[in-house]
Chain A
Amino acid sequence: MMNNTRRGVLAAVAAGSLVFTAAACGGDEAPAAAPSAGGSAAPAEKIEITLNTFGGGENFAYDDAVAQWNAANPNVQVKYVNLTDRFEDTYLPQVLQWLEAGSGAGDIIAMDEGAMGLMAARPQYFADLGQYGLDSRKADFPAFKYDVGVNTEGKLFALGTDIGGMAMCYRTDLFEKAGLPTNRDEVSKLWPTWNDYLEVGKQFKGKVKDAGFVDGANTVYNSVLAQEAGKNGGLYYFDKSQALVVDKNPGVKAAFDYVQSLSSAGLTAKLRSWSEEWNTAMQKGGFATMGCPSWMLGVISGTSGEGNAKKWDVAAVPGGSGNWGGSWLMVPSQSKHPKEAADVLNFLTGKDGQVAAFKEGGNFPSSVPAQQDPTVAEAKNPYFNDAPSGPIFAASVAQLAPVFFGEKHAQVKAAVEEVLVGADQGSVKWDEAWTRFVEEGVKAAG
C-alpha cells in the first residue's frame, strides 16, 4: 500500500538470513498461496480467484469488499491472502520469483507505487486489462493514477486502489507558542506557495528554538518533486525511453534546491523518516510540520499516542497538490482465469470496493466516484481536531499531472534521498551534495 518508504524497523533484519541461500530458491515455495490448482474437485463453473496483497494492520482493508463480492458471485469466489507486512524486502522479491517461475502468484496481485515502473517494463508477465474492457474505467481515475497502470507496450495492466495525496500536518501547540494561527483554514492561507512556507518557518524558528519547523528532508522533497515533475513533462528520474535524467530534469534540481534552502536556514529537525528519533520527536513535539499523505495520519496518531490527540491538525500543502504512495492491482498472465480475475479487479478498484476499503481501513480512494461518495467526501478525523480529511486529500490529488516511473525509479529515489538526508544531517556538505546526488543516481540506475 504505502510501504515504499516505510521500512518496518524490525523488518529488514530477517532478510539477512536469506542472503546466502536465496539465490538457490526455486519458484515453488509457499504453495499455500498457489492459485486454484487443487480446485479440480469443484463443479466445473466454480472458480477461485486468489488476491495477494501486502501491508501491516488493515493492509488493503478488502475484507468487507471481498465478502460483498463472494456473496453476490457464488461461482467466482475470491480468496484474500495478505502475504506479509513487508513490501520491499519480502513481497516484491517473492512476486518477482513467482513471475519468473511462471506459477505461484495470485490471480490478482497488489503492487506499491515504488515498483510500478519495474512492472510496467515487464509487459510479458501481465494480462492486458484492455482486453477485458477495463480501459473504459479511464474516466474514473485522475490521469496520473491511470497512466501509471499503462505499460511500456502501451497496454493497461493495472488499476489504482488507494492513493496518498498530500496535506500538511502541523502541531497546534507549537504554532501557538510561535504566535502563529492554529485554525486550519488560516494556516492553509499562510503558505499558498513553498516560498511562503519557508518564510513561515523562519518566523517560527525566531520564536521556538527547541523544535524544528519541519521533520527532515524526505517528505518536503517528495511533495515539491511531485509538483515539479508535473511541470516537467511528468518526469522524475527517467524519461519515457528509460534514460536517466536525474541531472537534466529541472524539477529534480528545483526540489533539491528547495530542501537545501530549508535545511540551510536551520528549519529542519534533521530527522530521517521512519527512524526511532523521528518517532520520538513526533511524540515529544520535536517538529511542528510534516508533509502528510492520507496514510500518514494513521502513522501520526499511532506513533504520537492518545496523549497527543488534538495537538495535531491538517492543513493544505503549499502548492496545493502532491502525492506520496498508493497502490495498484494487476492480473499476472500466469493466471488460469484472467477474465474472472479482471472482473474481480474491476470491482475492487471500483467505487464500491474502494469505499468499502475506506470504511474498513481508511485507505483513501483513487477512484474519483469513490472520492465523491459521501462516506469519503464528508469524512472527518477525530484525532486531528475533526479535520475534514476527505475533502483535503481529494483536493490535493485533483490537480496532479500525470507522472512516469522508470524501471529503476525505486532504486534511484532511495539513493538520491539518502544524499539529501546526509546533507541535512551534516555527513555530506551542501556544496558537494548536488554532485554526489547525481553520482548516486547514476550508480543506482546501473
Chain B
Amino acid sequence: MSLSVDAGSRTRTVPPGPRRHARPPGGRRLLSWLDLRAAPYFFVSPYFILFAIFGIFPLIFTAWVSLHDWQLAGDKTFIGMENYTELLADDKFWNAVLNTVGIFVIATVPQLLLALLLANALNKKLRGRLVLRLSILAPLITSVVAVAVVFTQLYGRDYGLINWVLGGLGIEPIHWQNAKWSSWVAIATMVDWRWTGYNAIIYLAAMQTIPKDLYEAAAIDGASPRRQFWGITVPLLKPTIIFTVIVSTIGGFTLFAEPVMFGAGLMTGGTTGQFQTVAMFIVKEGFRDFQYGYAAAAAWILFLLIMITALINFAIVRGLGRSR
C-alpha cells in the first residue's frame, strides 16, 4: 500500500456535463427551500412547544413565585431572595435534604450493583432465560401505590409480617416509622424492589452490544470471569451506567409516593420528620400551608441539588473502571 495509489483521484476533475435544468421560479424556490430547511424544524417542533409550555414556563414561573411571599388567595409581596435565605436557615428543610440523600444512597448504591450482577447473570446461557428476563421487570409494572401499601403492611409495627418473623427470632418488634435508620431502610427496599429490574434490563441490553470476541480473547489470555466482568463489561457499560445513575439521582431526589404512603399519607414524614423527603416538604409548604413562594424556592433548590449531585455522580462514574 502506498499513498500514491489514490493520489490521482484528488486531481481528477468533474467532467463538465450538461447543466441541470434552469432554476425554478421564485415561489417554488421558496417552497423547496422551506421543505429542505424549515420542515425538519416543523416536524420536531411539537416536542419543543410542549416542552416550552410544560417545562420551561413552569420553571421560570416557579422562579418568579419564589421571589414573593405568595399566599394562595392572599397577599403577594415581592421579597427578593428572602425565601431562599429563610430556607437555607430552616433546619426542617435540611432535615428533608438529609433524608432524601440518605434514602437515595442506601437505595441506589445496592440497587445498581445488584442490577449489574443480575444483568450479568441473565446475559449467560440459562434455561428459561426469556422468562427470567421478563420476570425481573415485573415489579416495574405494578403500581407504586400498590407496592407502598403492601410494603407498609409488611413493615407494620403491631401486625406486620417482618416484625412477626423478628418476634420468632426473639427480637423486639421494631416501630419502623419511628427512627431514621429503620424508616430509611424500609423505604429503600420499596424503591429497590421496584427499580432494580428496570436497571438490570437496561444493563442487559447494553451488555448484548459488547462484542463476544473481546471475551473470547480475554478467556484465551486466561482472564477469569470476574476479571472479564470488571475489565471488559463494566468499562464498556460506562455510558449506560452514567445514564442509570443520572436517572436514579433524579428519581431518588424527587422520591415522594413511597414515603408518603409509608407515613399514613401525611406530608410530615413521621412525627419528627424522620423520613420527610424534599418533595414532601415542598408539597407540605405549598399545599398544606399555602406558602407558594416558600415551596417554589424549595423546588428551585431541589433542582439545583439534583444538578449538582448528578454532576458529582457523573464525575465519579466516569472515573469508574479506570483504576482497574
Give the B-binding residues of A (Cβ under 8 A).
7-13, 15-16, 18-24, 88-89, 93, 96-97, 99-100, 122, 125, 269, 272, 274-277, 280-281, 284, 286, 408, 411, 414, 418-419, 421-422, 425-428, 443-444, 446
Among listed B13-21, B29-37, B115-123, B291-299, interface-contacting one: B291-299
Which of chain A's residues has its CB closest to B274's CB? A427
Cβ B158 vs Cβ A286 within 8 A:
yes
| B249 touches A (CB below 8 Å) | no
Q: Is the CB of B265 within 8 A of A9?
A: yes
Q: Judge if B157 is at the interface, Cβ distance under 8 Å.
A: yes
Q: A16 touches which one: B156, B256, B270, B295 (CB < 8 A)? A: B256
B264 at the interface (CB under 8 A from A): yes
Say if the beta carbon of B288 comes within 8 Å of chain A. Answer: yes
CA A45 to CA B272, docked complex, whole Å: 57
How far, in angstroms, from A169 to B20 measured CA to CA in the complex?
96
B289 touches A13 (CB 8 A): no
Q: Is the CB of A24 within 8 A of B287?
A: no
In the complex where A419-B271, A428-B272 touch, is A16 in contact with B266 (Cβ < 8 A)? no
**How many Å lie between the Cα of A276 and that of B186 in the bound state?**
16
Whole-angstrom CA separation of A15 from B145 in the bound complex: 13
Question: Given the complex of chains A and B, what is the CA–CA distance between A122 and B74 in angstroms?
Answer: 8
Which chain A residue shows the least CB distance to B152?
A: A276
A-B contact pairs, 12 of them (CB 8 A): A13-B265, A16-B260, A19-B279, A93-B72, A93-B290, A96-B290, A97-B73, A276-B149, A408-B289, A411-B288, A426-B175, A427-B178
Chain B residues in 8 Å Cβ range of A422: 270-272
A24 pairs with B61, CB closer than 8 A: yes
B51: Cβ under 8 A from any A Cβ: no
Please judge, given known A-B contacts A100-B72, A277-B159, A427-B270, whether A411 and B62 are in contact too, CB under 8 Å: no
Known contacts: A23-B62, A24-B61, A421-B271. The answer to whether A9 contacts B282 by CB under 8 A is no
Q: Report the bound CA distance from A272 to B177 in whole Å.
A: 11
Assuming A286-B158, A427-B179, what are 13 further A-B pairs, CB within 8 angstroms? A7-B264, A9-B261, A20-B58, A23-B296, A93-B287, A93-B290, A100-B73, A411-B288, A418-B271, A425-B177, A425-B271, A426-B175, A428-B272
Closest B residue to A286 by CB, please name it: B158
Q: Which of A96, A272, A286, A408 contacts B73 (CB 8 A)?
A: A96
Q: How many residues of B contact A (CB 8 A)?
A: 49
Binding site for A on B (CB under 8 A): 54, 57-58, 61-62, 65, 72-74, 92, 144-145, 149, 152-153, 156-159, 175, 177-179, 256-257, 260-261, 264-268, 270-272, 274, 279, 282-283, 286-292, 295-296, 299
- Is there an interface contact between A20 and B299, defined as CB atoms closer than 8 Å? yes
Interface contact B152-A411, CB-CB below 8 Å: no
State A279–B190 Cα separation when bound (angstroms): 22
How far, in angstroms, from A12 to B54 measured CA to CA in the complex?
A: 22
Q: Is the CB of B72 within 8 A of A277?
A: no
What is the distance, in angstroms, from A170's C-beta to the closest C-beta of chain B? 20
Q: Is B178's CB under 8 angstroms from A272's CB? A: no
Pick the residue among B178, B267, B288 that contacts A426 (CB under 8 A): B178
A446's contact among B144, B149, B291, B296, by CB below 8 Å, is which? B291
User: A24 contacts B73, CB within 8 Å?
Assistant: no
CA distance A89 to B288 in the complex (A): 7
The 5 closest A-B pairs by CB, nearest first: A422-B271, A275-B264, A96-B73, A16-B256, A9-B265
The answer, among A24, A419, A421, for a CB contact under 8 Å with B57, is: A24
| CB atoms of B266 and A24 under 8 A apart | no
The answer to whether B256 and A89 touch across the interface, beta carbons within 8 angstroms, is: no
- Given A23-B292, A281-B158, A286-B158; A16-B283 close (CB under 8 Å): yes
B156 touches A276 (CB 8 A): yes
Q: Give the complex CA separation of A9 and B54 in angstroms.
A: 28
A23 adjacent to B58 (CB under 8 Å): yes
Name the residue on B nearest A271 (C-beta): B158
Residue of B nearest to A419 (CB): B271
Q: A8-B265, A10-B145 known; A411 and B272 CB under 8 Å?
A: no
The 8 Å CB contact of A411, one of B178, B289, B299, is B289
Contacting residues, chain A, for B156 (C-beta < 8 A): 276-277, 280
Which residues on B sit within 8 Å (CB–CB) of A8? Answer: 265
